[in-house]
Amino acid sequence: MSALPTPDNRPANTHFSSGPCTKRPGWSLDALADAPLGRSHRSSVGKAKLAEAIDLTREILQVPADYRIGIVPASDTGAVEMALWSLLGERGVDMVAWESFGTGWVTDVVKQLKLADVRRIEADYGDLPDLGTIDFDRDVVFTWNGTTSGVRVPDGNFIPADRAGLTICDATSAAFAQRLPFDKLDVVTFSWQKVLGGEGAHGVIILSPRAVERLENYAPAWPLPKIFRLTKGGKLIEGIFRGETINTPSMLCVEDYIDALNWAKSVGGLDGLVDRANANFAVIDEFVRKSDWLDHLAKVPATRSNTSVCLSIVDPEIAALDAADQAAFAKGMVSALAKQGVAYDIGHYRDAPSGLRIWAGATVEASDLEALMPWLDWAFQSQKAGLKAAA
């Protein structure tokens, strides 16, 4: 493999992981100097920091004033589970899934909550299911952006304004890079370790007034662990949405999130973040369109993610290999790039079809992606040469 000449340029930042994602440009530990370490999160300074994070989240994401925003434990997974266990069961539910995490929510609802009235609306990797078959008189659970497939919903037009059920949306790799129509969404969850490059273990849950009404007027048939409880005595625990978190958050991580949100303001807020992600996707898309060995996993252009860009190796010789050998080929490419120190963590998700997954969210610089693209060709050609030599 070393016989092939390497490209001249290298990315300045080689971190292209889909989570935790790369830090904002110019980040250093100095950005965390104001973190109230060794102080209680319930102290005046601790609560002020948490409230600042909530207020900046509302400002950047353009969340309506009457929606509640809470910082919760266990990343986006914790936020989604909190919504599923607290809100579902009042009526039938449509579970919409087209990749690994959406399928995981289906499993939780069917096998853990054991709800009887569940419809599964699913599609294979690379496709969206038929959104026209969703019944919005029922509750609906879906991901906005399929992190492991690179397939997203193009907009919220498929959701009616006069729905009777709640829409519960896992938006973890969409928030801060794609526009979320909050008037169509009753629960939105994400983790700040995605588009803003924050640290792991913390989630955010956003509730519409309709979701709050459900919480205060419906009690699930199953017991709720303390970590999931959003109500007490039939009333919303308002403190959660003022920064009085259910468990102890890391004030270092909160400070890092605040720093990322302030950086987001400096690049133009939501408009600037979306523009950066779109420009990053455009770099990869242009390379793919010119390539004879690579293609998007997402089949329909309008559904292609501008953050978690999933790519398939379509070279006829490689596509003719069995699934295990195709996966080994892709992993060989990923390993070669890591050994060269030009790209880390760009392999496909473990449950997804083999290929590459390159993060293109707002904290990535387009210049780094431009430098990376020739290296993809180098890795492919090197791996293919090695495969032929071993034959």
| pLDDT in single tens digits along all 391 residues of the chain | 447 999 999 999 999 999 999 999 999 999 999 999 999 999 999 999 999 999 999 999 999 999 999 999 999 999 999 999 999 999 999 999 999 999 999 999 999 999 999 999 999 999 999 999 999 999 999 999 999 999 999 999 999 999 999 999 999 999 999 999 999 999 999 999 999 999 999 999 999 999 999 999 999 999 999 999 999 999 999 999 999 999 999 999 999 999 999 999 999 999 999 999 999 999 999 999 999 999 999 999 999 999 999 999 999 999 999 999 999 999 999 999 999 999 999 999 999 999 999 999 999 999 999 999 999 999 999 999 999 888 7
> 3-class DSSP state for residue 368?
helix
Relative orientation angle of helices 269-290 and 251-266, to the nearest 10 degrees: 80
Contacts 24+ apart (CB under 8 A), 206-210: 206/61, 206/63, 206/67, 206/68, 206/69, 206/70, 206/182, 207/67, 207/68, 207/70, 207/241, 208/64, 208/66, 208/67, 208/182, 209/66, 209/67, 210/166, 210/186
Q: Which of 3.40.640.10, 3.30.479.10, 3.40.50.1440, 3.40.50.720 is the CATH number of 29-265?
A: 3.40.640.10
- List the one residue out of 291, 242, 305, 284 whose CA is nearest residue 372: 284
Positive or negative torsion for Cα 321, 324, 330, 331: negative
Indicate the pTM of the whole model: 0.97
Q: Rounded distance, CA 81 to CA 109, Å?
A: 10
**Count of other CB atoms within 10 angstroms of residue 184:** 18
Query: So what's the architecture of 268-390 in CATH?
Result: Alpha-Beta Complex (3.90)
The structural domains of the chain, with segments of one domain joined by +, span 29-265, 268-390
The burial class, CB within 10 Å (0-12 / 13-18 / 19+), for 341 is: exposed
Task: Supply the DSSP symbol for 349.
Answer: P
> 3-class DSSP state for residue 86?
helix
Q: Rounded distance, CA 141 to CA 46, Å?
A: 33
Written in H, E and C, the secondary structure of 239-263 is: HHHHCCCCCCCCHHHHHHHHHHHHH
